[in-house]
Each structure stands twice: as structure tokens, then as C-alpha cells.
Structure 1
């Protein structure tokens, strides 16, 4: 797990260099708090331009965030995750956020424990299929 976090930190550092809001302090969150947050899902860290979440995804509609770059670190489960392409039946649900029924013409990725995927801002993305394991646990590093 420490290896995965090191990889994520490397990706995050590259994105942070170009991010508009850059956190200016060190954040430490212990294992117990991280584990308990993963059970229910939610925010682990929130700072200027940086949010780290513990999430559990199930099959659902696609989304696009205009200004948010994502790094997803998969910690359990399996899924077909689609990036790029065109949102089908899109609806703006919040400033800078669009949700849709799915994606046409995107690239499919099989994600499982240990995988890391980056999603640049303004890129459609979709947890298309989580039926093999029911859900996917992952850390989301969101940088604006």
C-alpha cells in the first residue's frame, strides 16, 4: 500500500505544479482514520485546491469535471472504467460538473486492486461495470 501511495504522490506532485490552488501545509492522516473513512466513504483531506477522498463506487452514470484532475488508486474490487469519448444525454448538475447516462466511443480500462489511473480535467469518465465484485474501493486525489 505504501508503494501505491508513493506512486500517487508522484502523479499528484506533477499535477500540483500546474494547479491553481496549491495546499501550503503538510497533512498527516493515520491508518485508523483512513480505514474508517473507507468503510463509509468521504473526505480524508480538504485543502486549497486538493481533496482526498475514500470512495466505494458501484455502476452508475458518467461524469465530467471541468476543472478537477483526478488520480484514482484502486484498493479493492474490480471494474470496467471508461474515459474519454462523448457523454450520452448530458446534464449540468453543478457549476463545472456534468453527469450523463454513459459514454459513447470512450476507452475501456479494467481496474483492480493496485491499479492507478489519472483523469485530466474536462475528461468524461464512467464506472461502467462493477458487477464482478459489486463495488470498487478507491482513493481519489482531486486537484484543481
Structure 2
């Protein structure tokens, strides 16, 4: 009996020694907009979220280390992708910008369309005067190649 009590205390202490791992906070953007404003970008380590509104044509962009998934919420535009970036220059690590895209593919994009750009894919939005496009972007870091 005297041996049983210390064993029960040790067992109870061992059960309390390992605390459960904290769960990450859930982030909710009511009506598709961050509570911190439309310009806010949330970064979750290997992925991020942002809302982008274009009311004029944009520059050519290449994200060399991240894939983009875009869910168009409203508006319309022409999307040019692929091809070669004109006047390409590095603006920050793994980010290239340019004045346009040569020999790219053009497609008309409207609300409800979902687009996936793999890392390294040039893309550019072209808007007609008076038009606008708004989309939710999910930026996902591409995993590095696993060596055998």
C-alpha cells in the first residue's frame, strides 16, 4: 500500500508534464476583407493572404519563390501570363518586375474566376479605362526540391 501511493503520484505528475501544443489562431476575414483593412496582408509563415484592387493596368510581376492563387471577387480585366518580362529588374529577393510581357497568353478574367500561378510565372493585369478588378490572393511558398 505504501508503494502504491508514490506510484500514483508519479503517474499523475507524468500525465501533467506534457502540455498540449497550442492551436494556431483562426483568422476570419468577414465579407472577404481583413478586419485590419483592405491593404493589410496576413503572413502565416509558408503562406499569406491579401486583397488586391486594381483600377488601372499593372506592371509585369514574377514571384520566383511563391505560387499565387487568386479568387476574383469583382470586376474584370485581361490577364497576360507566360512569355518574357520586358525591362525585367529585381525589386527584392525572388521578386522581378517589368514594364510588360512579350509573347504571353492573354485571357479575359471575370468575377468568380480562380487562377493559379506557379512560382516563376510572369503575369500582368491589363484594365480598360474605368474598369476595376478585386481579388483575394493566397501566396504559397513553393517547397524546395527534395534531394534523394
Tell me if TM exceeds 0.5: yes
- Alpha-carbon spacing, 1:130–1:37, altered in 2? closer, same or farther (3 Å): farther
Unaligned runs of 5+ in 2: 1-22, 142-148
Does structure 1 residue 141 correspond to structure 2 residue 129? no
| TM-superposition CA deviations, 1:35-72 (whole Å, max 9, x none) | 6667x3331x3211110101102312101011010001
Hey, what does 1:52 align to over in structure 2? Answer: 49
Does residue 131 of the first structure (1) align with residue 113 of the second (2)? no
What secondary structure does 2:120 align onto?
A: coil
Provide the aligned length of Structure 1 versus Structure 2.
118
Could you say which structure has the larger radius of gyration? 2
Show CA shifts across 1:2-35 (max 9, x none).
xxxxxxxxxxxxxxxxxxxxxx846331415726
Q: How does 1:41-80 map to 2 (within 5 A)?
A: 41-43=39-41, 45-57=42-54, 58-80=56-78
TM-score (norm 2): 0.72
Q: Match for residue 27 of structure 2?
A: 28
CA RMSD of aligned residues (A): 2.1
**What are the ranges of 5 or more consecutive residues in structure 1 without an aligned counterpart?**
1-23
CA 85–69 in structure 1, closer or farther in 2 if over 3 Å, else same: same
For 1:5, the equivalent position in structure 2 comes to none
Q: Which residue of 1 aligns with 2:90?
A: 92
Q: Which runs of 4+ in 1 moved over 4 A?
A: 35-38
Structure 2: how far apart are the matches of 1:135 and 1:36?
22
Match in the other structure for 1:111: 109
Higher helix share: 1
